[in-house]
Amino acid sequence: MAPSRRGFLIGGAAVAASAVFCSRLGNGDPEPFARSLPIPQLIDAAVSRHAVSLKAMPGRHAFTARKPAHTYGYSAPILGPVVRLRRGDEVEMVVENHLDAATTVHWHGLLVAGENDGGPQQLNQPGERWRPVLKIDQPAATLWFHPHPHGDTARQIYMGLAAMMIVDDGSDARLG
């Protein structure tokens, strides 16, 4: 079957639209991989005398050139530090809420008592400070912490309020 004039016009329009779309993609950030990967700060609870301070705070981050976005972070404009814990330690976490909304901090995967877990029932209002003491008693693990306020968890995480925890139990020393 011979190509129709209508098919030719539709195909031509598709080619033209893709050319315009692709040219706009190329104008956004001339060097898309020129930005360094942000490496989070490491906070070793043993070095900091078993006390770790975290500030839930607003920030700004430019994911692409000249287009900064509003973000949240723990003691940083976006995301937060990596907190290193050791099995057998007791660590006081000092969490300050500098956001304009209530938040919590849930230690995802960390085996702690319920009153220190940071679930939706443990709201930290703007300007408040929460000081749970975490008794670390579990095998080595890579975990994360994040907010967990009822009805606002996803938004706060999408804004960047999340970070990592590393639990060290000494087993890696035997591995060489």
Q: What is the CATH number of the domain that holds 90?
A: 2.60.40.420
Q: Are residues 74 and 14 in the same domain?
A: no
Q: How many whole angstroms separate alpha carbon 100 and alpha carbon 54?
A: 16
The percent of residues above 70 in pLDDT, for the chain, comes to 79
Q: Are residues 149 and 80 in the same domain?
A: yes
Q: Are residues 163 and 82 in the same domain?
A: yes
- Overall domain count for the chain: 2
Q: Are residues 57 and 118 in the same domain?
A: yes
pLDDT at site 93: 96
pLDDT at site 176: 73
pLDDT at position 14 over 80: no
Owning domain of residue 90 = 42-175
Q: Are residues 3 and 50 in the same domain?
A: no
Q: Are residues 96 and 164 in the same domain?
A: yes
pLDDT band at 112 (very low <50, low <70, confident <90, very high): very high
Give buried/exposed letters for 5-15 (b at 16+ CB in 10 A, else e).
eeeeeeeeeee
3-12, 94-103, 147-156: segment of lowest average pLDDT: 3-12
pLDDT band at 11 (very low <50, low <70, confident <90, very high): low
pLDDT at position 29 over 70: no
pTM of the model: 0.77
Is 37 inside a domain boundary?
no
Q: Are residues 108 and 25 in the same domain?
A: no
34-38, 89-93, 155-159: segment of lowest average pLDDT: 34-38
DSSP 39: P
Is 3 inside a domain boundary?
yes
Is 35 inside a domain boundary?
no
pLDDT band at 67 (very low <50, low <70, confident <90, very high): confident
